[in-house]
């Protein structure tokens, strides 16, 4: 491997999914994994197979589906975990087992009640067992940033001797500062005699907002792999953001002297897919992928930009996949023109899928003077599903006002039947959701509702994300429309259809 190339290990499907409310269906995982393959990540950590049947199935199917990246499954240094991970990865073209054990004093004392020698023995045994299944083995001493250095050097050396090919140094609780974390990486190279026999990786959390800074400091001190997530999602305050690290290395290549093989033009599309699937909306001022990342409002900035874009842009929006956000389609655009533009955006739809999107597009184009790429992408996400929808919206009627009891009439198409119900509620959206619940008759609880405008102006498309629960399972739905009530209905219906799809086929 080129010494200057940084390996990108994406853990969106594993650590990212551990964000509260961000659980993904198996279909969601496959869709994201395929996009990560187009993004050209080196390693996809697809999940934690021992944790549930759904996790096992997700890892198994991702391992079958993607062929270019390495597919990784997480396992504790426990026989059952490792055996389960190996079974899930059986069909992978490039399998990796990632095994870990906590090594900081507080974790050893409170979680395990074991001594350093006992933890060391568990680590060696775990790596050896994993090695019996495949050659590519990653080992992580959990909470490395708070682990005693001498024990850290000792367990890293032992893991490499046992067969580990990658050693990951996690700042599990986001405790480190850049200077000390960079120094830790430098010290590991200096004090672990066999470190040259393995790749050194880092995995930083963002509890103090330093995950990206710590990761870049580690790269400056020789780290060869970075463990990241799309949009920086993850437990608590999240993980190191893939897009920020990758673009820092690309934009400041002369400073870092490193590069990745990420196809950066796929970054925005990947960000939007993860946001759509998880329901976690990207903040507008988020670096690289926020809608304001390349926006300029101040007059002095706009004047300078017109003269030379590099006055205020250190990278181009096109380089990360934003492209041109000016009007591209309108009410007079035909099916062929829509198909061509969607292909430019990376969507190759079947005839039936294109028909669905085109019908919605005409409705939007009749209401809006300007139809943007973001609008088109929302329509694709709204209409094209990885499963057959049990229920589709036929029509809705809302009666609401400050002196009127909000009432919604909803008609859904189920198989060849139109089913209609009406309900009142605490507002038009609540009334609509209650009418849908009457039709579908499935006990659910709404636990999250978010609304954002995709583009500017009074006719902007609104995108709604909802999260519902059913028997402890979470389902995220999304919907888009120029009418926020319609967007809400479509999002709620999408979540219900996901729930329906996840049930046994006899239901």
pLDDT per position as a tens digit, 109-145: 888 889 999 999 999 999 999 999 999 999 999 999 9
Share of the chain above pLDDT 90, in %: 64
| For residues 235-260, average pLDDT | 97
Q: Is 312 buried (19+), middle (13-18) or exposed (0-12) by CB count in 10 A?
A: middle
| Same domain membership, residue 263 and residue 117 | yes
Does 259 share its domain with 184?
yes
**Would you state the pLDDT for residue 294?**
76
Q: What is the pLDDT of residue 233?
A: 96
Question: Is 197 found in the same domain as 62?
Answer: yes
pLDDT at residue 506 greater than cutoff 50: no
Q: Which two tokens stand for residue 118?
A: 């006992």
Q: Answer whether residue 448 is part of any domain.
A: yes
> Is residue 308 pLDDT above 70, yes or no?
no
Residue 117 lies in a domain: yes
Does 163 share its domain with 305? no
Q: What is the mean pLDDT of residues 96-102?
A: 97
Residue 259 falls within a domain, yes or no? Answer: yes
Total tally of structural domains belonging to the chain: 4
Residue % of the chain over a pLDDT of 70: 91
Judge if 330 and 461 occupy the same domain: no
Per the structure, the complete domain to which residue 311 belongs is given by 293-322
Residue-wise pLDDT tens digits, 439-453:
999 999 999 999 987
pLDDT of res. 303: 57
Range 183-198 average pLDDT: 98
Shared domain check, 444 and 421? yes
Q: Are residues 337 and 268 in the same domain?
A: no
Claim to verify: residue 49 and residue 118 sit in the same structural domain: yes
Closest CA to 49 of 19, 22, 26, 21: 26
Does residue 261 sit within a domain?
A: yes
Stronger pLDDT, 23 or 50, i.e. the higher one: 50
In a domain, 162, yes or no: yes
Tell me, what's the pLDDT at 327?
Answer: 42
Look up the CATH number of the domain holding residue 456: 3.30.160.270
How confident is the model at residue 435, as a pLDDT? 97
**pLDDT band with cut points at 50, 70 and 90 for residue 455:** low
The pLDDT of residue 176 is above 70: yes
Residue 507 domain flag = no
Q: With 70 as the cut, is the pLDDT of residue 457 above it?
A: no
CA angle 390, 395, 401 (to 5 degrees): 125
Q: What is the pLDDT of residue 340?
A: 78
Mean pLDDT confidence for 225-229: 98
Closest CA to 413 of 442, 445, 444, 388: 388
Cα gap 64→46, rounded to integer Å = 11
Q: Is the pLDDT of residue 188 over 50?
A: yes
- Kindly state the DSSP code that residue 143 receives in the 8-state scheme: T
Same domain (yes/no): 24, 70:
yes
Q: Do 129 and 77 lie in a common domain?
A: yes
189 and 331 fall within a common domain: no
**What is residue 298's predicted lDDT score, i.e. its pLDDT?**
52
Q: With respect to residue 217, please indicate whether it lies within any of the assigned structural domains.
A: yes
Residues 63-93 have pLDDT tens digits of: 999 999 999 999 999 999 999 999 999 999 9
The verdict on residue 287 lying in a domain is no
CB 292 within 8 A of CB 215: no
Residues 93 and 223 in one domain: yes
Average pLDDT over the chain, rounded to an integer? 90
229 phi and psi angles, rounded to 5 deg: -135, 155
pLDDT at residue 194 tops 90: yes
Residues 6+ away with beta carbon under 8 Å from 149: 184, 187, 191
Nearest Cα residue to 440 out of 465, 468, 464, 459 = 468
Residue showing tokens 């940084």 = 6
Burial class (CB in 10 A: 0-12, 13-18, 19+), 139: buried
């Amino acid at each position: 491997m080129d010494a200057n190339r940084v390996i990108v290990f994406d853990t969106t499907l594993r650590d990212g999914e551990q964000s509260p409310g961000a659980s993904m269906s198996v279909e969601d995982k496959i869709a994201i994994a395929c996009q990560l393959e187009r993004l050209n990540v080196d390693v996809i950590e697809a999940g934690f197979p021992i944790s549930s049947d759904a996790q096992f199935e997700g890892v198994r199917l991702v391992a079958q589906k993607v062929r270019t990246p390495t597919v990784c499954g997480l396992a504790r240094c426990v026989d059952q975990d490792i055996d389960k991970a190996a079974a899930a990865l059986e069909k992978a073209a490039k399998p990796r087992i990632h095994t870990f054990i906590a090594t900081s004093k507080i974790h050893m004392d409170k979680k395990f009640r074991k001594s350093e020698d006992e933890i060391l023995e568990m680590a060696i045994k775990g790596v050896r067992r994993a090695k019996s299944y495949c050659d590519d083995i990653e080992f992580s001493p959990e909470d490395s940033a708070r682990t005693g250095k001498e024990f850290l050097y000792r367990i890293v050396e032992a893991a490499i001797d046992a067969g580990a090919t990658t050693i990951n140094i996690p700042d599990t609780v986001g405790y480190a500062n850049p200077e000390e974390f960079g120094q830790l990486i430098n010290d590991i190279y200096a004090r672990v005699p066999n470190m040259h026999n393995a790749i050194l990786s880092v995995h930083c959390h963002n509890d103090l907002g330093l995950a990206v800074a710590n990761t870049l400091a580690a790269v400056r001190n020789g780290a060869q792999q970075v463990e990241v997530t799309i949009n920086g999602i993850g437990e608590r305050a999240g993980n190191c953001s893939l897009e920020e690290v990758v673009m820092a290395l690309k934009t400041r290549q002369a400073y870092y002297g490193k590069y990745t093989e990420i196809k950066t033009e796929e970054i925005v599309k990947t960000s939007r897919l993860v946001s759509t699937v998880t329901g976690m909306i990207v903040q507008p001022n988020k670096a690289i992928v926020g809608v304001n990342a390349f926006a300029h409002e101040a007059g002095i900035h706009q004047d300078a930009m017109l003269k030379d874009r590099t006055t205020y842009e250190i990278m181009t929006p096109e380089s990360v996949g934003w492209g041109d956000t000016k009007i591209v389609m309108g009410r007079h655009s035909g099916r062929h023109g829509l198909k061509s533009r969607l292909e430019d955006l990376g969507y190759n739809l079947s005839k039936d899928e294109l028909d669905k999107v085109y019908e919605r597009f005409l409705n939007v184009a009749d209401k809006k003077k300007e139809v943007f790429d973001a609008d088109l992408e929302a329509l694709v996400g709204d209409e094209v599903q990885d499963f057959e929808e049990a229920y589709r919206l036929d029509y809705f009627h809302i009666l609401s006002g400050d002196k009127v009891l909000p009432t919604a009439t909803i008609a859904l198409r189920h198989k060849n039947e139109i089913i209609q119900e009406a309900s009142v509620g605490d507002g038009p959206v609540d009334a609509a959701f209650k009418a849908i619940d009457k039709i579908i008759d499935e006990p659910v609880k709404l636990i999250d509702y978010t609304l954002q405008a995709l583009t500017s102006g009074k006719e902007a498309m609104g995108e709604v994300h909802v999260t519902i629960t059913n028997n402890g399972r979470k389902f995220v739905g999304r919907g888009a429309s120029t009418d926020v009530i319609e967007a809400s209905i479509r999002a709620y219906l999408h979540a219900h259809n996901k729930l329906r799809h996840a049930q046994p086929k006899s239901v």
